[in-house]
Amino acid sequence: MLIDGLQYANWSEKIFRQMREGGVDAVHVTIAYHETFRETVLNFEKWNRWFEQYPDLILKGQWASDIDRARETGRTAVFFGFQNPSPIEDDIGLVEILHTLGARFMQLTYNNQSLLATGCYEAEDTGITRMGKQVIKEMNRVGLVIDMSHSADRSTIEAAEISERPIAITHANPHAWHPALRNKRDDVIRAVTENGGMIGFSVYPHHLKGKTDCTLEDFCEMIARTADRFGVEHLGIGTDLCQDQPDSVVEWMRVGRWSKDIDYGEGSAAAPGFPEMPSWFKDNRDFGNIAQGLRATGMNSDEVAGIMGGNWYRFFAENFGPQG
């Protein structure tokens, strides 16, 4: 079983076919960065048209059982998530509405402070806000997973402790391995995993040691050491693959409507666009390289199978439905 915990590709028939060639059974896709509720609904509509156009390649994923259906029919199940709480605006009632429409993940912040928590680029992390505590409770109730991939340390630890259900960091790597702002310190990883949560390892070059030049061996060794420390059952892949996106999309991701200036984020001012992917992971056909690299670290077949998809499957099965 092969599940990718996060992609934001410029979707096309070509990419859908590459997912099938790569054996990707399920993928969590970002359908909102800074969109309002209405704009997010239009993105759901766009995906509905793709499901109609390519019924032999993709299907809408809402429950873990949809992954089983995808595997039986040779398709990829597509699960929806948001990288910002902007789709709920300032209305807690929209949490359930969006879950009903098919959302299964929502980040409490992107890089900035939100109404719910603090983003990883802010100078001061004040933790989960009053509204954030209420929204976490509501997300727990309906089965919308809390994602803290772009959140600051205190906010992430508090979210893991406040939430009555496991939370996720769908796409990031350990800060100790590569000290990018977005990567997670040990106490953050510990808080998430000790509360049953999941970490998806990212191949986005700004998250990698050596960036584009990071080796497969180094990446897989990092995963193996994280497994030793925090438990292999809490680990998966969340590539953060942004395949075929034009560089202009980076501006929307980082800036939205909140600034008139360009926010270069983790890149340099000279290269604000998308970085080149490492040679061993260019697109969805390359997941086999990661599996092979994990085996080369000495992991057994069950451990590799868990990281490549089994752990995400279990997490989906336990957390997408209403609170029991």
* Averaged pLDDT of the chain: 96
Identify which of 102, 150, 153, 148 has the alpha carbon closest to the alpha carbon of residue 124: 153
pLDDT the model gives residue 267: 53
pLDDT given for residue 254 in this prediction: 87
Segment 154-160 mean pLDDT: 98
From start to end of 179-261, where are the E strands? Answer: 198-201, 235-237
Please give the structure tokens belonging to residue 167. 């939370």
pLDDT of 169 higher than 60:
yes
Instruction: Tell me what percent of the residues of the chain surpass a pLDDT of 90.
Output: 92
Q: Can you name the CATH fold of 3-319?
A: TIM Barrel (3.20.20)
33 vs 84: CA distance, rounded Å: 6
Of 8-12, 62-66, 166-170, 254-258, the poorest mean pLDDT is in 254-258
Which H helix or E strand runs over 49? Answer: helix 37-53
pLDDT at 261: 86
Instruction: Give which of 155, 50, 55, 49 is closest to 109, Cα–Cα.
Output: 155
Q: How far apart are the first and last CA of the chain?
A: 26
pLDDT in tens, 234-284: 999 999 999 999 988 888 888 999 999 887 666 544 456 789 999 999 999
Q: Provide mean pLDDT across the span 9-18.
A: 98
Domain boundaries, the chain: 3-319
Provide the pLDDT for residue 72. 98
Could you report the per-residue pLDDT of 287-314, keeping only the tens digit for each? 999 999 999 999 999 999 999 999 999 9
Instruction: Single out the residue of 70, 89, 90 nearest to residue 79, CA to CA.
Output: 70
Q: Which range (40-44, 129-133, 201-205, 270-274) has the least confidence?
A: 270-274
- What average pLDDT does this structure show over 201-225? 97
DSSP state letter for 11: -
Share of the chain above pLDDT 70, in %: 97
Q: Rounded distance, CA 91 to CA 116, Å?
A: 12
